[in-house]
Structure 1
Amino acid sequence: MIKLFATDLDGTLLKHGNRIETEDISAIELLKESNIDFAIATGRMDRDILKVCEEITTDAHRISQNGAFVDTKSNEKILANTFDIETSSALHHAISQFPNPFCITTVDEAYISIKTPEIEAMEQILYFPLVEGVDFANEYQENFLPSKYMLLGDQKDIVAFQADIHEKFHAVCESYLSDPRCVDIVPKGVSKAVGLLALADYLAIKPDEIAVIGDSFNDIPMFEMTPNSFAMSTAPEAVRNKAAHVVEDVHEAIAYVQQNVSTK
């Protein structure tokens, strides 16, 4: 029996321009009638999830920044992961060599190395503006630590730099292609699956009582933790192959769960 449904945001619940399908909103509302809890698991920050919750008028458990942070729908923080001071400084110096724009996020802010015209255009669809300037590699302290670095640009460029970072820092970080033009670098052991498992433990449910849906490589850990996984049809083939089902929309996955899984 499914007790929790978790969705990714970009490319899944959020369509181009942060648009959410009316059918998806209605389906999420119907989850309550089936006694299925709702969660959002995304590479975005918690403040973005809260804006989405306002738009769909539904509270959600929140797995943000690829699982670095987990907050319940009652706003209890049950997981928080950041890089330590030494690792933060070393990673910062290394990533500063990346020739394209890169972003650094903390629990409550997002910084961009430079606002190019492309970044400014992207910023128009963000819920919150980016703070320009990342010249603080030597200013990290316990109350100011990064939870995620993001490399932005052409896939071949960011993946090549990702490989270099992995070679040097694989002992202390994970990296995911969260979008065709974005690589996320997070603390070792951080993933959406780890975040969901922490939430499952809090809710006293099992992984096979969770259904998940996503569209990118950072969603694969979720697909591997439960048999009830759905990939968007727009996802790369390698991502689709990791999911149990492929669907066109979130509401299609929810309907399948309600009709075929939730009563078993």
Structure 2
Amino acid sequence: MIRLFATDLDGTLLKRGNIIKQEDIDAIGRLHEQQIDFAVATGRMERDIIRISQEIKHDAHRISQNGAFAHTKNNDVILANTFDVATSKALHKAVSAFTTPFCITTADEAYISFKTPEIKAMDDYAYFPIVEGVDFEDDYNDEFLPSRYMLIGDEKDILNSQKQIDEAFHEVSESYQSDPRCVDIVPKGVSKAAGLTALAKHLHIELHEIAVIGDSFNDIPMFNMTPHSFAMSTAPKTVQQQAAHVVDDVFEAIDFIQSKVSTS
């Protein structure tokens, strides 16, 4: 029996231009009718999930920044992972050495080294425009710590940079390609799967009672934690191969699990 349905945002529930299909919104509404809980697991920040939940008029448990933070829909804090001061300074210096733009997120804000025309265009669709300027390498303290560094640019360039970061910081960080043009660097042990596992424990839900859907490499840990996994048909083939099912839309996955619930 499925007791929790978790969806990624960008490229999954959230289409280009921050569009959510009405069929998906309606399907999320039907989850409540069968007492299936709803969660969002995304690389985006918690504030984005809150805004989207308000727009679709459905509360959600919130796994944000690829699992760095986890909150229940009642605002209970389950996880809050950041880098320590020394690691933050070292990573800041390392990513500053690359020529591609890099982004730094804390629990409350997102900063970028410089805005390319592409990034400026993205601001038009962002719920919260990113802040330009990262001149705070020496300002990290226990009250101001990053939860994620992001490398942005051509896939070949950022993957090469990712390799260098992994070699230098593998003991304290992990990295994921969250988009063909974006690599996320997060504290060791952080993943959407870890965030969902902590949430499931808090809600007294077994992992096999969770269904998940996503479209990118950072969703693969979710796919591996439960037999009820769905990849979007727009996902890279290597991502699709890690999921139990491939669908075109979120509502198709919800319809599938609801048909299983109704016949069980």
**TM-score if structure 2 supplies the norm length?**
0.99
Partner of 1:157: 157
Partner of 1:135: 135
Does 2:30 correspond to 1:30?
Answer: yes
- One-letter amino acid matched to 1:248: D
Question: Following TM superposition, by how much is the alpha carbon of 1:117 offset from its aligned partner in structure 2, in angstroms?
Answer: 1.4
Partner of 2:116: 116
Partner of 1:180: 180
SS in 2 for 1:59: coil
Moved over 4 A (4+): none
SS in 1 for 2:91: helix
SS in 1 for 2:202: helix
Which whole-Å deviations, capped at 9, do the CAs of 1:196-229 have from their partners, x for residues lacking one? Answer: 0000000001000000000000000000000000
Question: Following TM superposition, by how much is the alpha carbon of 1:263 offset from its aligned partner in structure 2, in angstroms?
Answer: 5.2
- One-letter amino acid matched to 2:186: V
SS in 2 for 1:15: coil
1:53-132 matched pairs, under 5 angstroms: 53-132=53-132
Which whole-Å CA distance do the structure 2 matches of 1:252 and 1:94 have between them? 43
Question: Following TM superposition, by how much is the alpha carbon of 1:261 offset from its aligned partner in structure 2, in angstroms?
Answer: 4.7
Q: Retained in 2: the 8 A contact 1:3–1:262?
A: no
Does 2:195 correspond to 1:201?
Answer: no
Question: Following TM superposition, by how much is the alpha carbon of 1:52 offset from its aligned partner in structure 2, in angstroms?
Answer: 0.7
The unaligned stretches of length 5 or more in structure 1 are: none
The unaligned stretches of length 5 or more in structure 2 are: none
Which whole-Å CA distance do the structure 1 matches of 2:163 and 2:58 have between them? 39
- One-letter amino acid matched to 1:63: I
Question: Following TM superposition, by how much is the alpha carbon of 1:78 offset from its aligned partner in structure 2, in angstroms?
Answer: 1.0
Which whole-Å deviations, capped at 9, do the CAs of 1:137-165 have from their partners, x for residues lacking one? Answer: 11100010000001001111111100000
Counterparts in 2 of 1:250 and 1:119: CA distance versus 1, 3 Å: same
Partner of 1:11: 11
SS in 1 for 2:17: helix
Which whole-Å deviations, capped at 9, do the CAs of 1:239-264 have from their partners, x for residues lacking one? Answer: 00000000000000000000025654
Aligned length: 264
SS in 2 for 1:243: coil
Counterparts in 2 of 1:113 and 1:204: CA distance versus 1, 3 Å: same
**TM-score if structure 1 supplies the norm length?**
0.99
Q: Retained in 2: the 8 A contact 1:231–1:239?
A: yes
Q: CA RMSD in A?
A: 0.8
Partner of 1:44: 44
Identity %: 69
Which whole-Å CA distance do the structure 2 matches of 1:216 and 1:192 have between them? 12
Counterparts in 2 of 1:263 and 1:36: CA distance versus 1, 3 Å: farther
